[in-house]
Structure 1
Amino acid sequence: MYRFLLTPRWWGINVFVLLAIPFCIYMGSWQLSRFEERMDTHRDAGARSDPDERGAARPLDDLLPVTKATSGEQATATGRYTDQFLVPGRTLDDRDGFYVLTLLRTDSGRSLPVVRGWLPGTADAAKAPAPPTGEITVTGALQASETPGSNGVAATSGLPTGQTGAISAASLVNLVPYDLYDGWVTLNEGDAGMSAVPAGLAADTGLDLKAFQNLGYTGEWFVFAGFVVFMWFRLLRREVETLRDAELGLAPDETPAEPSPSLTAP
């Protein structure tokens, strides 16, 4: 009855099934690993942004370039404060305000943007405390450079003198005549009575739509694997029924006739 499984047609079907099922399982497992990776990255980033989970601070140069793995890490740098800028349109605890951003000139000759704190209200240079003088060592969470126009970050063009819309070397390079680090630090404790700016999560580390897409694709690939098995059994059953009907002399899709009631014994 099942000798048809050895025919070339069924050899092709069987080979396809034997290849399709492991492939679907592999792709589903890979998508699941991507989701778990995003979950781990999200937890790690969240732990680094939690003040109670801060690790030991390390020298700034040891953490560069800023990646998803180093964003939020505690960094230290030593230098002297120079130019100061305001970053308007920033909220903290659902209140509108602005960051006070001061550049720290290090011994390397490059300057590190340091967010010393946040103040409520409209950006006004008269409200911003002057930076400390002399050599100073800062400690804070390392952050990646912002991109103007993304995630609500305002563009730098059109702002008054002394203000910048994004905290990045690309935005500040036209405002200062020296090299800048590609990244910035937010102090753990606000300077001069200002509110500290909490470290944000690195890009592509949150549980966003992409993470749940990976989870959805995981389910789809396992459904595909189940569908392949289902179709194989369905084809097998149909083939068996076709052969059985042929043995009974029936045409395909023809069912045996029921005996007439008039011919049955009383």
Structure 2
Amino acid sequence: MRFSILASGSTGNSIYIENDSGAYLVDAGLTAKRIEAQLAKIGRSMKNVKAIFVTHEHSDHIKGVGVLARKHGVPIYANEKTWQAMDGLVGEIALDQRFQFDVETVHSLGSISIESFAVSHDSVDPMFYVFHENDRKLAIITDTGYVSDRMKGIIKNADSFVFESNHDVGMLQMGRYPWSVKRRILSDVGHVSNEDAAIAMSDVIEQKETQIYLSHLSRDNNMKDLARMSVEQTLQTCGIVAGEFVHLHDTDAEEPTELITV
């Protein structure tokens, strides 16, 4: 199993995942044209994409879903409430391309099993995914106000994580956002901070080689170096030294990561 984070941030999110039998996207929060361009940068295209798995209906996760569905005939998976919320936002999608993927269920597509789990975010029924193949595990968790024990139990012991590290609390509190927006981001249905993300990471990391991609960084309230430093320092206070068996990586809103083997 291999993956690339095509884009990650408040302006758009999409993750490409492949194995020897096909490829998948988690979210399509960029225009279809940009997703096709991002795929080209890693030497891939939409022609092998067998499905798009939607996490929730916010624009930075579904912007390109409708056009990609109509242009490439790709099946779209989302839970019932998310489908209802997306109607009117993504345009017409043929009935034979609309698939329901309920929260807390597992779908198997060839040798890959995709497990969905609920998160805490201000959308109708947000959920994220863990991809399993053989004994390898890729966990994707962003857009959540906190990481519950149940979430931790599902993502625990992954080999690779795409983990939200949205904001620095100090930057957010001192920044230009109105208080109502700050309160929403800091709430249990907002986004996790650098420090809170690291504390959650310390509970799910096992003593093995683990890759962590810090994702969904706020454009206004975070910086890559700051996120990495904050996560490193907080992990260290929890007894985990980054660089020994845990490796932290940046993601970007404009450039995809290299294809990584899980």
Larger relative CO (CA 8 A, sep 6+): 1 or 2? 1
TM-score interval for Structure 1 and Structure 2 normalised by the shorter chain: under 0.3
Q: TM-score, normalised by structure 2?
A: 0.23
| Larger Rg, first or second structure (1 or 2) | 1
Structure whose residues are more often helix by fraction: 1
TM-score of the two chains, using structure 1 as the length reference: 0.23
